[in-house]
Amino acid sequence: MVNSPDDYTAALGTLIEYKQRSWPNAHFCFMGCGGDETADQYVYMVISAWLQKHMAYVSLARGGYSGSYSCPFDWIYLLLQHYTMCYANHCPQD
């Protein structure tokens, strides 16, 4: 990307064109390697370019591939917290 800006621009343009033509309402989630910010700088560059072009439905999965293993457990925990709060607020008082 940094070393070959023309190749980066062509690849980015092809990816954006593919999304607009084939999946205009699809959500694209980018995933880095899960290291520090320096390791994921190229993913941030791609996401930044998409956002500058006002592309909708773009997200970043933090933690890389290994971080995706803990995601379901985090969601289950959050759902249980939400359910507990909703139940406590709507539970009939004796």
Query: What is the per-residue pLDDT across 9-51, written as a single tens digit (0 to 9) for each?
Result: 898 889 888 888 888 888 888 888 877 777 788 888 888 888 8
CA dist 8 to 12, 81, 94, Å?
6, 43, 65
pLDDT at 75: 62
CA 29 to chain centre: 4
Comparing CA positions, the residue from 2, 71, 1 lying closest to residue 34 is 71
Question: And the tokens for 75?
Answer: 């969601």
Query: Looking at per-residue confidence, does 20 or 74 come out higher?
Result: 20
pLDDT at 94: 46
Comparing CA positions, the residue from 69, 88, 70, 68 lying closest to residue 80 is 88
User: 26, 57 in Cβ contact below 8 A?
Assistant: yes
Average pLDDT (67-83) is: 64
